[in-house]
Amino acid sequence: MAVRPITVIGHKALHQPTKKVREITPEIRTLVQDMFDTLDAANGAGLAANQVGVRLRIFVYDCADGSDVEQRGVVINPVLEKGTVPPGDPAPEDGAEGCLSVPGEWFPTARSDWARVTGIDLDGNEVVVEATGGTLARCLQHETDHLDGKLYVERLTPTYRTKAREAMKARGWEARRITKWDPATQQAEKV
């Protein structure tokens, strides 16, 4: 299989809602394997299809749940349920969140402590992934946001949103016209 380039914030693919998968085809199976290969190469917790430029409602994950047990899987056509998101600025040590499409940056992001997604797997079987606490609960919310065309930096409180804008400007992705990066080579790609 293959490691695919990951789109960087500012790329239009990240800001458009994805489309429901109607049929599990060989191309979908290849995409999912490529997504796992890409996630592994990038050392990430989750990856949505639109992060590799495919507007389909699929994400893969590989992270610990609230009991620190590693969970790995794929959810196709996920539907998210979540608990209440605490108001105000999250504590920096409790809510640091990063994103493969905003490489190298981490910002405190308020998320619910509990989340569940339902969808299907590559065999068309129903999948239910639920987590309380841990990286997995955050990941389920983060990846579903991607599929809805939303990035975690859009969920930041005003305090952290300003810091995120400054950090991204300092990285110069937009000024240098960087739209993707390749986790296999760690090289940026320009428009």
Q: Which residues are catalytic?
A: 143
- Contact between 161 and 152 under an 8 Å Cβ cutoff? The reply is no
Query: By the 8 A CB rule, do 120 and 72 touch?
Result: no
- The first and second tokens of residue 27, run together, are 């191309």
Q: Is 99 annotated as a binding residue?
A: yes
146 is an annotated ligand-binding site residue: yes
Cα dihedral: 42, 47, 49, 52 (round 10): -20
Decide: residue 97, CB within 10 A, 0-12 exposed, 13-18 middle, 19+ buried. buried
DSSP state of 4: P
* Long-range CB contact pairs, 170-174, < 8 A, 24+: 171/104, 171/105, 173/8, 173/9, 173/10, 174/10
The separation between CA 52 and the C-alpha centre of its own chain, rounded to angstroms, equals 11
DSSP state of 29: H
Q: How many residues does the chain have?
A: 191
Hey, is 98 helix, strand or coil?
strand
Q: Detail the residues annotated as belonging to a binding site for Fe cation.
A: 99, 142, 146
